[in-house]
Structure 1
Amino acid sequence: MSNLFRRILLLRSPSSVFAHGFSESSLRSLRYLSTSSEIVSSPKSASLPSNAVQLNNKGKAVIDLLANHGFSESQISYLAERYPPILSFNPEKNLLPKLLFFQSKAHSSSEIFEILRSDPWVLSNSLNKRIIPAFDYLQAVLGSEEKTLATIKQFARILGLDLRNAVGPNIEILKQIGVPDSNILKYLQYQPRVFMTNSIQFKETVERVKEMGFNTQQWQFVDAVFCLRSMTKSTWDKKVEAYRKWGLSEEEIRSAFRKHPRCMTFSEDKINGAMDFFINKMEYESSFAARRPILLQLSLKKRLLPRGHVYEVLLSKGLIKKHQNLPFLLKSPEKHFIEKYINPHKEQIPGLLELYEEKLMDSKR
């Protein structure tokens, strides 16, 4: 592990060291430390700054502790790079209790690493004041340890919050207007950040979604709350303008948002690319995309253009009718698309599969 420790010290930037109170001379000492595996016992170590020597000793002890608990060298390096303060932890006092807690919940060291990879700074939180209460709250709300772990892997920072006060009021706001518990809990599990906002602002967003005509019983309601919470009003206005440029009316844009709220989170480039494909290449009216906004989320390069090319070839050979089942052709899983639209036409159009695969390769260049 001494070689690993030397590599980690060399990877640490000066800014991360200065942030912990080390002077430039201390940094030079740390670099010196990293070149000798025997530095702790070396007589020269007596002349080094005490904080540098202490960091050296603690750092090695932290690495040994992580290794003894199943972490690989690459995982330890990752944690040290993403969260430099870990090397100055008192391993027995600050780190071990947290590892033991996570071990009592997770199935393996790999699962613990997934949590820490999400946000290594979770280790800076108090175990008894933050991590355990947050974990217990999530488990009580979600109903299982497995779902709680899945949520933490998505956003480990949640373990640093007072969830009863930070999340609880927003959950209650949704419950009071009739949002099903299943929809709330599903979103809490997979998108916990949507609940982490001031309850007054959260309620304003919820009211805005209601005014747009969403049904509180449907999944799209919570999804719309998330989408609106993720952008400013100016960003929303820019997305609206992007759709307007392609001829969509205000009501058509709102209708598209009600059907598939994520259509307002796409970048302007993605919106323009998809709309150009449907209107100019496939020769549809702009209202086509507004009625089927879920198609807008498909990748232009990896899905729309390659399959659109196959569609044009089939159309030119008279094997399909214009605009026949295009949404189904675009949305089909890859295997079904090949079985339905390529394999039946191998004899009439030799090389159709190769042509499609070539278009897919172009998308990766």
Structure 2
Amino acid sequence: MRMIVGFLRKALVLQVRFTLTASPTPQSLHFLPHHFYPFSSSSTSISTSERSESFTVSYLIDSCGLSHKDALSASKLLRFETPEKPDSVLAFFNSHGFSKSQTSKIVKSLPRLLASDPDKTLLPKLQFFYSKGASKPDVAKIVVSTPGILKRSLENQIIPSFNFLKDFLQSDEMAITVVKRFSRILLFDLHTYVASNMNALQEFGVPKSNIAGLLMYRPMAFMVNPNLFRKNLEEVKKMGFNPSQMKFVLAIQAMRAGGESCWERKIDIYKKWGWSEEEIRLAFTKSPWCMIYSEDKIMAKMDFFVNKMGRESSLIAHRPFLIGLSLEKRIIPRYSVVQVLLSKGLINKDISLVVLFESTEKTFLERFVNAYKEEAPQLIKLYQEKINL
């Protein structure tokens, strides 16, 4: 038995030696054990894959402006060994007015687009928006803000969603305005969200024109669970808002802006400035916008009125319109004029904030600038400089 095993081992060694020294043919390689031939087809495929990945990463960095990290991540979703196809996609975006940074954002979000046929998959969607009155810059902004539009069905998703908006607003122009403001609306099931919430508003007695206004200027307000939306309607009505007035939909908009957590944060900000819950409610009923402004803007205005001007915080609660005024374009320029007049003893330091900041431009100039041309001729120049800044 040992002799037989030894014989077989020698025979195998001789066969291997003979195979390695002979000219390799496809037939001989077929019978060669895999581990004796290091340059097998699987090893070659790994090498090709690595080269493909390396080329893809380099292309994404050099031609698309992606970071190395983003390029590595994107390369897991697509590979290409030559630049022809991705070049055609980049050239397509460039020809339609997309900037390099805009194209980079799209590629980062949807890297697989680089493997698409732009004339078949991308062009029809852009042409649809053009046909509805959107300009090239408009379309670029729409796509950059919601790249997912490029991978959704034009016939089954985009066109039906757009037509829903157009049918309600009775205008392509108004519908495209909604899309420019909140392009993600085209990706939603509008019958589940928007239609249900529109019906709820009508049931509460909100005029169609006011619903259209809310849809035009705050389309995101409709993108909420219908049950929660009805709850918000009931809360607003309990606060005393009249559904037939525009303030009612503004209050809904304010409640929906940023979600419940954002609403609570803004309430906390006003409380930090000393407002009671009753004062917050009062301010909201007078001007729902006071709960729509960003937290930074609220803080900046309150800080100016209370710390810079030394006014009582509760005074602002009774005049919440003041929070909506521009610091740069109105409050600071007008206050600069007042400081000069105060330094010269020309006006009383307790001048009404309403008179000072809520009056029209014409009224302000007549009352605080032109009226003191002789005593303070530098006022008009100072005022213009502050506005220009």
What is the TM-score normalised by the length of structure 2? 0.73
Whole-angstrom CA distance in 2 between matches of 1:315 and 1:265:
34
Match of 1:342 in 2: 369
Q: Counterpart amino acid of 1:11?
A: G
Match of 1:71 in 2: 96
Q: Secondary structure at the match of 2:122?
A: helix
How much has 1:312 moved relative to structure 2?
3.4
C-alpha distance 202-322 of structure 1, shift in aligned 2 (>3 A): same
C-alpha distance 147-20 of structure 1, shift in aligned 2 (>3 A): same
C-alpha distance 247-113 of structure 1, shift in aligned 2 (>3 A): closer
Contiguous gaps of at least 5 residues in structure 1: 27-50
Q: Counterpart amino acid of 1:13?
A: S
Match of 2:106 in 1: 83
Does structure 1 residue 9 correspond to structure 2 residue 36?
A: no
Does structure 1 residue 218 correspond to structure 2 residue 245?
A: yes
Whole-angstrom CA distance in 1 between matches of 2:146 and 2:224:
19
Does structure 1 residue 239 correspond to structure 2 residue 262?
A: no
Match of 1:181 in 2: 208
How much has 1:347 moved relative to structure 2?
1.9
Does structure 1 residue 197 correspond to structure 2 residue 251?
A: no
Cα RMSD after superposing both structures:
3.0
Match of 1:47 in 2: none
Whole-angstrom CA distance in 2 between matches of 1:112 and 1:136:
17
Does structure 1 residue 142 correspond to structure 2 residue 165?
A: no
C-alpha distance 271-66 of structure 1, shift in aligned 2 (>3 A): closer
Contiguous gaps of at least 5 residues in structure 2: 1-58
How much has 1:244 moved relative to structure 2?
3.3
In the alignment, is the contact (CA less than 8 A) between 2:132 and 2:172 conserved in 1? Answer: yes
Q: Which moved more, 1:232-241 or 1:125-134?
A: 232-241
- The within-5 A match list for 1:1-365 is 9-22=63-76, 51-53=79-81, 56-67=83-94, 70-72=95-97, 75-84=98-107, 85=111, 86-106=113-133, 108-231=135-258, 233=260, 235-267=262-294, 270-279=297-306, 281-300=308-327, 302-324=329-351, 326-332=353-359, 337-338=364-365, 340-357=367-384, 359=386
How much has 1:17 moved relative to structure 2?
4.0
How much has 1:289 moved relative to structure 2?
1.2
Residue by residue over 1:43-99, the C-alpha shift from the partner in whole angstroms, topping out at 9 and shown as x without a partner, is: xxxxxxxx3136x322222234445xx523xx2523421111332222232112212
Aligned length: 327
Q: Counterpart amino acid of 1:278?
A: F
Identity %: 42
C-alpha distance 21-277 of structure 1, shift in aligned 2 (>3 A): closer
Whole-angstrom CA distance in 2 between matches of 1:113 and 1:267:
27
In the alignment, is the contact (CA less than 8 A) between 1:118 and 1:154 conserved in 2? Answer: no
Q: Counterpart amino acid of 1:184?
A: I
Residue by residue over 1:246-283, the C-alpha shift from the partner in whole angstroms, topping out at 9 and shown as x without a partner, is: 44332221010011112124455544443344345545
Q: Which moved more, 1:173-182 or 1:321-330?
A: 321-330
Larger Rg: 2
